[in-house]
Amino acid sequence: MTQQSGAAESGPSSAATLDNLLEESRTFSPSEEFARAANATQALYDEAAADREAFWANQADRLHWETRWSQVLDWSDAPFAKWFVGGRLNVAYNCIDRHVEAGHGEQVAIHWEGEPGDTRTITYADLQREVSKTANALISLGLQTGDRVAIYLPMIPEAVFSMLACARLGLTHSVVFGGFSAEALRTRIDDAQAALVITSDGQNRRGKALGLKENVDIAVRDADSVRNVLVVRRTGNDVEWNADRDVWWHELVDTQSEEHTPEAFDAEHPLFILYTSGTTGNPKGILHTSGGYLTQAAYTHHNVFDLKPDTDVYWCGADVGWVTGHSYIVYGPLANRATSVMYEGTPNTPHEGRWWEIVQRYRVSILYTAPTTIRTFMKWGNEIPARYDLSSLRVLGSVGEPINPEAWMWYREHIGSSTTPVVDTWWQTETGGIMISPLPGVTATKPGSAMGTLPGISAKIVDENGAEVGWGGGGYLVLDQPWPGMLRGIWGDEQRYRDTYWSRFSSEAGPIYFAGDGAKYDSDGAIWLLGRVDDVMNVSGHRISTTEVESALVSHPSVAEAAVVGAADPTTGQGIVAFVILRGGEADDGDALVKQLRDHVSKEIGPIAKPRQILVVPELPKTRSGKIMRRLLRDVAENRELGDVTTLQDSSVMKLISSGLAKPT
Ligand code: 6R9
């Protein structure tokens, strides 16, 4: 496979590898028609392989630089990188103004759809006006370059306006999920010492107007850093008002001038902080800067999604509160002058076809979502998407968790009319942009594999000692070369940055970034992600990935979704405990089905992977970004009191699961 810059030599796998349990032999080559018109070509890989820095310099030319850089990369203070040294640019200008100046002011930037059915069409010229007004409002509140702004909003256009207004003024935003608690918000406000919080009176979720500002009221009580709270009216909920501190968006922003001239900032000016949970302690404030981050967001968005700005309608179903929303709802698509869809609500409000109705209405051509959402759609049944015209779709993307082959196939078949390329994209909050993914039109894909590193990116799979494993082998995923979108540190904690990411492995050639994910090469050198390293179980000395057992379970016709954890076991070290949701309409027929499922896993993977226990549950605990919180399931499996549930999308799920455990198998 020529497109894999990070691929290892073919050879025997090292001793300490993950067991290579699943075999996937289906391959989907790009159609000639797609390949002919694709943005990406094999030449991109060749160019990057020939000279990585020159390659990234070319990618940076996608942007408008007020001052050109003098050096592409300064890695002399590794692991602290500087990209495009000396370059100056304005991120918001790159996402808005330059498109208006080039005559695209009337092009739609965002087709926004609210959960109750209200809509807003925002052109690039509108965006310029709205962001300018917001920027002027932030100036009027006394904010200055370098100040931090916490954004705690639902998926409404003001969230985008706020982020871009910060970018325009050189303020550093910290977006906090609308689903997070007051306590989680407070921790993040304190850590970043935010001077302003932008929120709304409420948020629409599943047909209800839930409160939001009340969380802010609790969070900012005695928070010394916060001077003001700017409040968007969205739901009309009653809110408490502190006249010294609170300001209505429609009173302050709507009365501002529609003109604002952006100034250029250093390429390394902090653009945002985004908190992500660590295995221990407080969440980590991942810091991203401007020039390199935007370069990678724009480059990956253009090539991985094959975006054609004049004809495509692009929809990323994530929330702006996680990194996918930052890079692939806001910065990447807008830098590339995309026309996007943005949807406020949940996929089953008011009915389970809501997403497909939106695809049909706006003729969405590129869709990007998470495996958990795909599996939810599978559970609801094939007949739902079948009712809608999805023929506009031409590229489908997946992100956030390993996608099991079953879900990958379903996505392609039932959403992509068995023709669209599916791109499984691996990356992290820390990487800023996509790192491992097929390129549509170039890469032949295998269901469930993220295939290979993108041009310009270098990754390796290594064993316990940091030695690279061969094809067919598995181990830890590492990144052995710096990349433009990489995090520049953990806000306020240099040591934690070094310890968390750069201390596990090292090499003479330079520092090595440890991603925390397990991965393997198949016999062709394609990369398979196996989930977080702490999601690897050890059963009688065999290392089995939770993902592989989950994939096996989901390949059974009765199972819609599965989560697997390793629970302490006196004899085997760990025992495999599976939580499964059955497909729509299927009743739990008890022991017979559970036995069937255990045998099924045994047949698919091997007797060693046979779950010790299978529990049929109505729901699984997930974060808002769709990641299953296995930590909580482990608590259940090991009969412990539940740990922190504040980051759950719906904390009542745990009650449901615990109450259904009367009859373990
Ligand atoms: C973008 C995002 C990062 C972690 C990452 C990995 C998992 C993301 C994946 C994937 C397998 C993929 N992950 N994409 N695992 N295949 N395509 O999700 O960022 O929220 O920081 O999570 O998500 O475990 O380490 P973030």
Query: Nearest C-alpha to atom 8 of ligand 1 is from which residue?
Result: 400
Q: Is 452 left (phi over 0), alpha (psi -120 to 50) or beta?
A: beta
Q: Indicate whether residue 399 lines ligand 1 (CB < 6 A).
A: yes
Look up residue 65 and give its two tokens: 């630089």
Beta-ladder partners of 616: 580
Instruction: Count the Cβ atoms, other than its own, within 10 Å of residue 136.
Output: 20
Distance 100 CA to ligand 1 centre (A): 34
C-beta 28 within 6 A of ligand 1: no
Distance 3 CA to ligand 1 centre (A): 22
Is 427 one of the annotated binding-site residues?
A: yes
Q: Please report the atom of ligand 1 found closest to the CA of residue 532.
A: 24
Whether the link from the prior residue into 570 is cis, omega within 30° of 0, is no
Q: Which of 424, 486, 529, 623 to mutate to test the pocket of ligand 1 (most atoms within 8 A of CB)?
A: 529
ipTM: 1.00
Query: Residue 428: CB within 6 Å of ligand 1?
Result: yes
Predicted confidence at residue 568, as pLDDT, reads 85
Q: Would you state the structure tokens that stand for residue 45, as one six-digit string?
A: 């890989």
Find where tokens 């200055």 sit.
144
* 450 CA: nearest ligand 1 atom: 17
Looking at residue 88, its amino acid is: R
Q: What gap in Å lies between CA 116 and CA 205, rounded to an integer?
A: 9
| Atom nearest to 322 CA in ligand 1 | 20
Kindly tell me the sign of the dihedral angle through the C-alpha atoms of 254, 257, 258, 260. Answer: negative
User: How far from 271 is each of 175, 528, 597, CA to CA, in Å?
Assistant: 11, 32, 48
Centre of ligand 1 to C-alpha 314, Å, is 21
Residue nearest to atom 23 of ligand 1 (CA): 400
Angle between helices 52-60 and 42-50 (to 10 degrees): 120
Cβ–Cβ contacts within 10 Å for residue 478, how many? 24
What the block records as the tokens of 74 is: 């300064």
Measured in Å, residue 235 CA sits from the centre of ligand 1 at 33
Q: Is 262 exposed, middle or buried (0-12, 13-18, 19+ CB in 10 A)?
A: buried
Q: How far is CA 191 from CA 144, 151, 195, 413, 651, in A?
A: 18, 14, 12, 45, 25
Taking alpha carbons only, the member of 642, 580, 576 closest to residue 612 is: 576
For ligand 1, atom 16, the nearest C-alpha belongs to 402
Three-state SS for 545? strand
Q: 449-480: per-residue pLDDT in tens?
A: 999 999 999 999 999 999 999 999 999 999 99
CB 477 near ligand 1, within 6 Å: no
For ligand 1, the distance from its centroid to the CA atom of residue 469, given in whole angstroms, is: 22
Does residue 246's CB lie within 6 angstroms of at least one atom of ligand 1? no
Q: Residue 7: what pLDDT?
A: 31
Which residue, by CA, sits nearest to atom 12 of ligand 1? 426
The half-sphere exposure of 17 on its side-chain side, counting CA atoms within 13 A, is: 21
H or E segment at 99?
helix 98-99
Contact, 66 vs 88, CB < 8 A? yes
- List C-alpha distances in Å: 400 to 111, 245, 325, 368, 464: 24, 37, 12, 11, 25
Task: Give the pLDDT confidence score for residue 507 in this predicted structure.
Answer: 82
Is 205 annotated as ligand-binding? yes
Q: Residue 647: its pLDDT value, please?
A: 64
> Is the minimum distance from the CB of 400 to ligand 1 under 6 angstroms?
yes
Distance separating alpha carbons of residues 607 and 610, to the nearest angstrom? 5
Predicted TM-score (pTM) of the model is 0.86
Which tokens sit at 432? 């800023």
How far apart CA 534 and CA 518 sit, in angstroms, is: 9
Question: Taking a C-beta distance cutoff of 8 angstroms, is the pair 449, 437 a contact?
Answer: no
Q: Which pLDDT does position 665 carry in this prediction?
A: 34
The confidence score (pLDDT) of residue 176 equals: 93
The H-assigned helical ranges of 326-454 are 332-335, 354-362, 371-380, 383-386, 405-410
The answer to whether 168 is annotated as binding is: no
Its sign, for the CA torsion 450, 452, 457, 459, is positive
Q: Is the CB of 624 under 6 A from ligand 1?
A: no
Q: How far is the CA of 230 from the centre of ligand 1 (A)?
A: 32
- What are the residue ranges in the chain where pLDDT is below 50? 1-21, 662-665
Three-state DSSP class for 370? coil
**With contact defined as beta carbons under 8 Å apart, do 239 and 231 qualify?**
yes
Q: Which of ligand 1's atoms lies nearest the C-alpha of 625?
A: 20
The response to whether 324 counts as a known ligand-binding position is yes
426 lines ligand 1 (CB under 6 A): yes
Question: Is 207 part of any known ligand binding site?
Answer: yes
Cα–ligand 1 centroid distance for 425 (angstroms): 8
323 lines ligand 1 (CB under 6 A): yes
Q: What's the CA gap between 59 and 35, in Å, rounded?
A: 21
**Distances from the Cα of 318 to the Cαs of 154, 328, 379, 397, in angstroms?**
12, 9, 20, 12
Distance CA 388, CA 367 (A): 15
CB burial of 642-658 (b: ≥16 within 10 Å; e: otherwise) equals eeebebbbeeebbeebe
Q: What three-state secondary structure class fits 144? A: coil
Per DSSP bridges, beta strands 527-532 and 513-521 are antiparallel
Contact (CB, 8 A) for 355 and 369: no
Q: What are phi and psi of 273, to 5 degrees?
A: -115, 135
Calculate how far, in angstroms, residue 8's C-alpha sits from the geometric centre of ligand 1: 22
Tokens representing 164 are: 């871009």
Amino acid (one-letter) located at 409: M
